[in-house]
Chain A
C-alpha cells in the first residue's frame, strides 16, 4: 500500500520494509547464532522492528493516532525487562555450565 503523505517524503512502504528487514535479521540471528547474548540481542532487534512499525503507523497509518507511539514506549520498557531477566538467567547458566553457548542447553531432551 503506497500511501504517500505530502509532508514526509519517505514512503511508508520503505519504512515498513525497514521494519520487516530488521525483523528478519533478528529472527535469523535468534535462530542461528551460537552465543546466548547475540540471540538476546537479535530478539531485541525483532521487538524494535515491531516498534518501527508502530511508530510508522502512528504517523502514516490509515488513520494516524498517538496510540502507536504510546504502545512503542510500553514495548521498549517491556523489552528492557525481558533483557534484564534474560541476562540474569544467562549469568546463572554460565555459573553452572561455564558456557554461554546455546548448544550447551541440552540437559533436557526426549
Chain B
C-alpha cells in the first residue's frame, strides 16, 4: 500500500485541475461534491498507508526520479513515507475533509465559491506533497507552495484592504524565515552533496558536514538554526509570530485548516523531520526549546485580553505550537508530535465552532455576542469539548499530549521552561473559557444580531461533531491503555527505536496541571459567567500589564519602526541616488559634449585670416614637435 501513497496528494491535485477546467462560475454543488469526495478518498488512502506502515514498519523507502542534474549531483523528486509522514498525512487529510464539508455551508453564496475550493485543493495537494517529500529540496518547493496558498486564501476577500495587507504581511514575514531555510538547505547540499535526508543526517552525525570555511560541528549548528528559522516563520514562533493573528482576515474554514491544524504545524513537522540534525548539535535543540517556551507563554498572555474571537484562538494556536516546539526542543520528540496530532483536531474544532458562531451573528467581537448557547446547542457543546481539550482537562485529548510535554520539560531539567509552560497552561484555561462564557452564556449584548442567530445546516454541524469526538478520544492514542501506541509508532522511524526521549507518566504532575486548568476555568467563570469579579476593574488595577497584553507587547509597532521603516528609508535613498546623482552625472556628460560642440562651432568666425592663423598655429606646433622629435635643428 505504501508505494501508492502518492495517490493521497494526487487526488486533491486532480480536484484542483478539474475545478480550474470547470471555471469560476461552476455550480456550488458540483464543486463541493468533487472536492469533498476526492479529499475523502485521499483520507482513505492516508488511513490505508498509516495502517499498512503500522503492520510492517520497514517499508519506508524513498521512491524518486531525477529532476535536474547539477554538475555531478542530481536533484530528485518523488515521495517517501516514514511513520512521521504517515501520521501527518492522516491528520492533514482528515482535517481537510471535515473543513471541506464545513465550508460548503460557510462559503454558501460566495461569488468566488469555486475559486475558494480551487485554492483549498491546491493547498491540500501541496501540504501532502510537502509531508511525503523525500528530500529537503522538494520540501522547500512545497513549503513555498503552501505559503502561496495561505497567501491566496488570506487575501481571498481581496476587496478588503485589511485582507490584502494581511496576505502580504503573512507572505513576507514567513519569507523572512524561508530565506533561512533556503540558505540552510543550500549549505547542507554543498557540504553533504545531496538534499536527501538520509545522506544529510549521515554526514551530520558522522561529522562530515564541513566546508572549506567552516567546521562540521559549527556548520551543523548553523544549518540547523537556519532550518529552524524557516520553521519559526511558518509555525508563527516568536519573533516571527506577528503574521498569524492578522491571517484571521481569511475565511474561518481557512483559519481552521491552514492556520490551526496543518500548515502552521509544518514548522513543527520540519523540525521533527530533520531531528537528527538538531540532535547532532545540542545548541540548536536548546534554541528550539527556548523559542518554543517563550512563544507558548507570549501567545497565552496576549490571548488573555483580545476581543476578537478568532484572534484569541489564533494566539492560542501560537502558544500551542510553542508547546510543540518546546517539546521537540527538550528532546520529547514523540510528545511534540503527539500534541501536534491532538491539537490539529481540537483547534480545528474550535475554529469551526467559532466559524459557525460568526456565520450566525456575523461579528467577531466577543462583546457583541452572548447567550448564543440557547440558539446553537451543537455549536456550544462542541466548542465546550474543544475548550476542555485545549485547557487540558482530564481526560480530553489536550490533557494527555500537553501534560506529557510539560512532564518531559520538567524531567529533562528545564525548570524555567517548565514554569513558563505551567503559567501558559493556566492562562490557556482562562482565556478559552473566557471566550466560551462570553459567547454562549450570559445575556445577548446585541439583540439584532442575536435575533437572526441560528444553527448552521448539517454540513456545518456534522464536522463539528466528528471533531468533538476526536477532541475527546485523540488523547487515548498514546496512553497506557494502548500501551503508548503512537510514540512507539513514531519511534519506529529510527533503527535504534528511540528518537529523543520518553518519560514515564508523572501522576502528581498530572493532578497539578489539571488543578491548574480547573483554577483557570473557575476564574474565567467568576469573571464572565457569574460576574463576581469585574473584568474592567481588574484591567484598570493592573493597567500597564493589561495594556501590554492587549497591545500584543507592541511587537508590531517595534517591527514596523525597526525593519519596514529602515527598508523604506534605504529604498528612497537609493531612488534619490538613482535619479538625482547617477542620472544627473550622465546628463551632465552628454550636455558637456554638446556644449563642447557649440564652443567649437563658434571658432568658425567667418574671418578667413583667423582660419589661416589657427591653421598656422597647427603648423607651428607640428613643426616644433617634429623638430624636437628628430633632435635639434640642422
Contact = CB atoms under 8 A, between A and B. Distances in A.
Direct A/B contact, Cβ within 8 angstroms: yes
B612 A31 contact: yes
Interface stretch (A4-12, A58-66, A73-81, A99-107): A99-107
Given A1-B634, A110-B601, A110-B602, A31 B607 contact: no
Contacts of B606: 105-110
Contacts of A27: 616
Contacts of B609: 30-32, 102
Contacts of A30: 609, 612
Nearest to A108: B606
Interface in B587-634: 601-602, 604-609, 612-613, 616, 634
A32 B612 CA distance: 10
For chain B, which range describes its interface: under 10, 10 to 19, 20 to 34, or 35 or more residues? 10 to 19
B616 A31 contact: yes
B604 A110 contact: yes
Nearest to B612: A31
Interface residues of A, number: 13
Contacts of A103: 607
A103 B606 CA distance: 9
Interface in A26-43: 27, 30-32
A57 to B, nearest CB: 16
Contacts of B612: 30-31
Contacts of B613: 31
Contacts of B608: 102, 105
Interface string B164-197: 0000000000000000000000000000000000
A107 to B, nearest CB: 7
A110 B634 CA distance: 42
B379 to A, nearest CB: 92
Most B C-beta atoms less than 10 A away, residue of A30, A107, A108, A110? A110
A109 B607 CA distance: 8
A32 B609 CA distance: 7
B607 A102 contact: yes
A106 B604 contact: no
A102 B612 CA distance: 12
Nearest to B602: A110
A63 B72 CA distance: 82
A15 B156 CA distance: 105
Nearest to B613: A31
Most A C-beta atoms less than 10 A away, residue of B602, B609, B616, B634? B609
Nearest to A107: B606
Contacts of B607: 102-103, 105-106
B620 to A, nearest CB: 11
B621 to A, nearest CB: 16
Contacts of B605: 109
A82 to B, nearest CB: 16
A72 B430 CA distance: 124
Contact of A109 (B604, B616, B634): B604
A110 B613 CA distance: 17
A14 to B, nearest CB: 15
Nearest to A109: B606
Contacts of B616: 27, 31
A32 B604 CA distance: 18
A41 B616 CA distance: 19
Contacts of A31: 609, 612-613, 616
A110 B604 CA distance: 5
Nearest to B605: A109
B612 to A, nearest CB: 5
A31 B607 CA distance: 11
A92 to B, nearest CB: 16
Nearest to A36: B608
Interface string B398-418: 000000000000000000000
A106 B606 CA distance: 5
A103 to B, nearest CB: 7
Contacts of A110: 601-602, 604, 606
Interface of B: 601-602, 604-609, 612-613, 616, 634
23 contacts: A1-B634, A27-B616, A30-B609, A30-B612, A31-B613, A32-B609, A102-B607, A102-B608, A102-B609, A103-B607, A105-B606, A105-B607, A105-B608, A106-B607, A107-B606, A108-B606, A109-B604, A109-B605, A109-B606, A110-B601, A110-B602, A110-B604, A110-B606
Interface of A: 1, 27, 30-32, 102-103, 105-110
Given A30-B609, A31-B616, A109-B606, 17 more contacts: A27-B616, A30-B612, A31-B609, A31-B612, A32-B609, A102-B607, A102-B608, A102-B609, A103-B607, A105-B606, A105-B608, A108-B606, A109-B605, A110-B601, A110-B602, A110-B604, A110-B606
* 8 closest cross-chain pairs (CB), A and B: A109-B606, A106-B606, A110-B604, A31-B612, A31-B609, A108-B606, A31-B613, A110-B601
